[in-house]
Structure 1
Amino acid sequence: MFIGHLPAGYISAKLLLKRFANTGVSARLFILAGVLGGIAPDFDMFYFYFVDNRQSHHHTYWPHYPLLWLGLLAVSYAWFKFAANKSGAALMLIFSIGGFIHMLLDSIVGDIWWFAPFIDKPYAMFTVEAVYKPWWLNFILHWSFLLEILVLAWAVYLWRSKPTKL
């Protein structure tokens, strides 16, 4: 997924904003945490390009382990459930939700190691055939890119519709 992660993080934060309104977190900070969670797994791209020299698929690095995001979700949910001051827990929870949504979106056409680090086997719902050069054209010209455009359009719609009280 190329352009869908950031808007997906925005959508999740925007849709959950009212449920977390009484936590004391500003709408702007809550949405920022959701957006950062939506793109956080791809921070491993710095390692991929600058350290690993593109030797391993970046989805095999720990920021792309779904079990990590499930663990963060569980811990942040428990923190939110039992904390007296819920602001930090709410930010961690929306961040974790964004990261887990990232895993779900990457699973559409990208290999995700769902049981890493215990099982070294990638899973993807669909395969993008390598037909065009450069490599990224294969993804942009694939039908799944329409899903990304729809996610982006939804985020723009939410952003333009009701203004969030900041």
Structure 2
Amino acid sequence: MFIGHLPAGYISAKLFFRPLADSGVAAKFFVLAGVLGAIAPDLDMFYFYLIDNRQNHHHTYWPHYPILWLSMLVASGIWFRLSRNKSAAALASIFSISGFIHMLLDSIVGDIWWFAPFVDQPYALFTVEAVHKPWWLNFILHWSFALELLVWFWAVYL
């Protein structure tokens, strides 16, 4: 997914704000946490380009481990349930929800190691064939890019 993560974080924050509204968090901070969570897994791109020299697929790094995002989601959910001051727990929850949604979106046409670090096997619903140069044209000209545009339209609509 190229351009869909940011608006997906916005959408998740808008949809989850009401159920978590009793937390006392201002909407703008809630949306910010949602958007940051949606792009947080891709912060591993700094490591990918600056340190690893593109030697390994960036989805093999720990920020792209679904178990991390599920664990954070469960922990923040428990924290939200047990806490008296729910604002920080609500921010952690939407951050984790958006990070997990990132994993789901990447799984459409990108390899995600769903059972990492225990199993070294990538999973993707569909494959983008490498037929165009530069490489990113393969993704923009693939039908799945229409899904990303739909995510953007949905975010604008909200």
AA partner of residue 140 (structure 1): I
2-structure distance, mates of 1:100, 1:157: 23
1-structure distance, mates of 2:118, 2:44: 20
- In the alignment, which residue of structure 1 is the partner of 2:80? 80
2-structure distance, mates of 1:19, 1:117: 33
AA partner of residue 122 (structure 2): P
Structure 1: segments with no counterpart, 5+ residues: 159-166
Runs of 4+ in 1 over 2 A off after TM superposition: none
AA partner of residue 84 (structure 2): A
AA partner of residue 72 (structure 2): L
Q: What CA RMSD, in Å, does the superposition of the two structures yield over aligned residues?
A: 0.4
SS in 2 for 1:115: coil
Total equivalences in the alignment: 158
CA offsets, 1:110-160, max 9 Å, x none?
0000000000000000000000000000000000000000000000110xx
- In the alignment, which residue of structure 1 is the partner of 2:13? 13
- In the alignment, which residue of structure 2 is the partner of 1:155? 155
AA partner of residue 101 (structure 1): I
Matches within 5 A, 1:24-35: 24-35=24-35
- In the alignment, which residue of structure 2 is the partner of 1:2? 2
2-structure distance, mates of 1:132, 1:102: 25
What TM-score results when the alignment is normalised by the length of structure 1?
0.94
What TM-score results when the alignment is normalised by the length of structure 2?
0.99
1-structure distance, mates of 2:77, 2:18: 17
Q: Offset at 1:24?
A: 1.1
1-structure distance, mates of 2:128, 2:21: 41
- In the alignment, which residue of structure 2 is the partner of 1:162? none
Q: Offset at 1:22?
A: 1.5
